[in-house]
A and B are shown apart, each in its own frame.
Chain A
């Protein structure tokens, strides 16, 4: 038992009737780090977060937050954590400021403390102008920010973010990522659930992959990428006649065992695992005088990760779950 672990869960089990949401999940998060819990819809991510944040009691297993048991010492746990769910949990009839002051009062920060903290957070989240408007007039992104601000009122040591960027457009998503990063520099420990490998890769120090209520992998983002075969480089040469030439260059930078270059609708793709692959490709293409209309590097999708780990895709998985529930 290392005291360095701020979140520790062992053998969490939770059933809802016939649905086995969790079937023995272990989680461990070190102080000041971000754990990404990755999995498709229905994998059990939200159930795990709800148990760790004292909203649900596990059927079996136990968990501690900063040394406090989530079942036996739930009040202490609640003083330590901040929770942001998939759905904005603020009162829409109250203004942004009234919401934050209310939560401050409920956290015993006192009248002056609650007001000061509300002002601080509104400023930080760029909501000062909208502070005195009812939350129902906020845009989706603003509401999400207010929700995150609400979970930070008590300056929690541990923060749970349940799919914080689901439904946000890419620009807003990156904003949210910046916020998460600054939380960690402030000394908080973060557990974040997501359906996007890209998000886990951008934010997490370690990633736990959950499927069917079980942990199927736990690794660093690099380790996980290595496991599933790194990234994919895609190139679309502007001159179709130079397809062959481009393919040869790509084969040279490819580190994949299956180094083969595939052709589909004028796009060449190749697996790469080296960070220099993109720059190497660019300089070689430039040297050969080959122009491109498209050049991109991307991570394997959650589907690909799942396929590698389980031999089936995440979306297949969803249908299996539905069938099980229906049966």
Chain B
């Protein structure tokens, strides 16, 4: 039986009152990191939440390479070289769905009231959640490259360029996360978040150079493909992995990142303030 007897409060606590503690600098960064750690602990405790960033890229690589490889690229080996950056970009894009779904569920619980009654910057819980996702994206990158190399993928560029490609993918993922966070704040149920995000991500990942070279697509679709951020991301990564010149693709990708954050972070923050 848990009939705990409650002893009276310790009169002399060794810890000062929060009101008397001097505030430390960089509150947004420090508190966001503390809250990112919370996300990590949660992820650690529910490893099944990592399926979308571990099993999914592995299965997609195997299915696409061995089913379409022969037909699309003439051989599975050459298709793998082409496809791997695409699968990485696609998984990162679908991986961003989870954060919106999770935040939507979190809002239903009282924990956000607690955060808002504490002296932390209002945006810290959202920024913390986004930062916590960095670990998920690092996992995607490592898993995809690992499975890819087991299947025969070979880097043709420098290691440094490959690292740059992975970093670019992670930066893009964090930027795209804000779209998911915004939808997570706006949608009424977590199922709706999933549905809306899926509808957004599907055309982005398929109407791009993720799976096939852009040249074979009909003209009207090429217009979309050319502005699609995933096209720029995938083409940047492909060039970096293959040791080819990246052209403007890296800049376009970064411009998209800045644009997504500039538009969706304030929108998400506004929706968050209204919601809770």
Contacts and interface: CB of A to CB of B under 8 A. Distances in A.
B120 interface: yes
B208 to A, nearest CB: 35
Contacts of A171: 3
Given A93-B45, A120-B13, A154-B17, A179 B24 contact: no
Contacts of A297: none
Contact of B38 (A75, A94, A154, A178): A94
A171 B3 CA distance: 9
A85 interface: yes
Given A81-B117, A83-B117, A109 B42 contact: no
Contacts of B13: 117, 120, 155
A88 B207 CA distance: 45
B109 A154 contact: no
A126 to B, nearest CB: 3
A105 B34 contact: yes
Contact of B9 (A75, A78, A124): A124
Nearest to B34: A105
Nearest to A105: B34
Interface string A63-81: 0000000000001101111
B119 A78 contact: yes
A155 B14 contact: no
A85 B110 CA distance: 8
A78 B6 contact: no
Interface in B1-40: 2-11, 13-19, 21-24, 31, 34-35, 37-38
A26 interface: no
B41 interface: yes
A154 to B, nearest CB: 3
A156 B18 contact: yes
A103 B118 contact: yes
Contacts of A179: 6
Interface string A86-126: 01111111100010001111111110010011001000111
A134 B118 contact: no
A106 B6 contact: no
Contact of B276 (A55, A107, A156): A55
B268 to A, nearest CB: 19
Contacts of B8: 182, 185
A54 B42 contact: no
A139 interface: yes
Contact of B41 (A76, A93, A113, A116): A93
A76 B118 CA distance: 10
A53 B117 contact: yes
Interface in A131-148: 134, 139, 141-142, 145
A157 interface: yes
Contacts of A157: 17, 19
A106 B21 CA distance: 12
Contacts of A139: 2
Contacts of A7: none
Given A94-B38, A109-B18, A87 B110 contact: yes
Contacts of B34: 102, 105-106
A185 B9 contact: yes
B6 A55 contact: no
A250 interface: no
Interface in A228-243: none
Interface residues on B, range: 35 or more
A125 B38 contact: no
Contact of B114 (A104, A150, A175): A150
Contact of B113 (A82, A89, A91): A89
Contacts of B199: none
B249 interface: no
Nearest to B23: A108
B132 to A, nearest CB: 12
A55 B9 contact: no
B216 interface: no
Nearest to A177: B6
B111 interface: yes
Contacts of B38: 91, 94, 98, 102
Given A88-B110, A155-B13, A185-B9, A93 B19 contact: no
Contacts of A9: none
Contacts of A90: 110-111, 114
Contacts of B45: 93, 134
A125 B8 CA distance: 9
A156 B13 CA distance: 12
B186 interface: no
B111 A126 contact: no
Nearest to B43: A93
Interface of A: 53-55, 75-76, 78-83, 85, 87-94, 98, 102-110, 113, 116-117, 120, 124-127, 134, 139, 141-142, 145, 150-151, 153-157, 171, 175, 178-179, 182-183, 185-186
13 contacts: A79-B18, A83-B117, A87-B109, A107-B21, A125-B6, A142-B2, A150-B114, A153-B18, A155-B18, A156-B18, A182-B6, A182-B9, A186-B9
6 A-B pairs closest in CB distance = A126-B4, A154-B18, A89-B110, A89-B114, A107-B18, A78-B119
